[in-house]
Amino acid sequence: MLADGSELPADLVVLGLGVRPRSSLAAASGLELGPSGGIRTDEQLRVRRAGQVLPNVYAAGDCTEVWHRVLERPVHLPLGTHANKQSRVAGITIGGGQATFAGAIGTAITGFWAGRTASRSRSVVRV
């Protein structure tokens, strides 16, 4: 549906959406941001300010940069799998354990399903 309320017919719609980290609060607090605008962390997800690691301040998820293990540089890679792993590392570390997030290789696998319901039957087909 378009802004004027009209619709465009389509059999398939593919979206490519850009995502930027929302790190303005971190920047205003003096925390280091990387080139992508994501919060820069160490392998235990601790943040830095003025070149110093802050021992009890952590960042994880889409607001951070991650080390890209193939490109060998920090990138903003907003994927749920990485955010989940980062939050586990931060939680383990906060709890006194030892964990690190070594980075990502930038892959994602997504499944798509088409579904239909009828009065007497239901079917879901994996595409």
Q: What pLDDT score does 95 carry?
A: 94
Straight-line distance from the first to the last Cα atom of the chain, in angstroms, rounded to the nearest whole number: 24
Q: What pLDDT score does 106 carry?
A: 79
Q: What is the pTM of this model?
A: 0.71
Tell me the pLDDT tens digit for each residue of 90-124: 999 999 999 999 999 877 766 666 555 554 555 55
Sketch the domain layout of the chain as residue ranges.
24-126
Q: What is the CATH number of domain 24-126?
A: 3.50.50.60
Tell me the pLDDT tens digit for each residue of 49-91: 999 999 899 999 999 999 999 999 999 998 888 899 999 999 9
Give SS3 for 102: coil
Tell me the pLDDT tens digit for each residue of 14-30: 766 668 888 999 999 99
Q: What pLDDT score does 5 carry?
A: 86
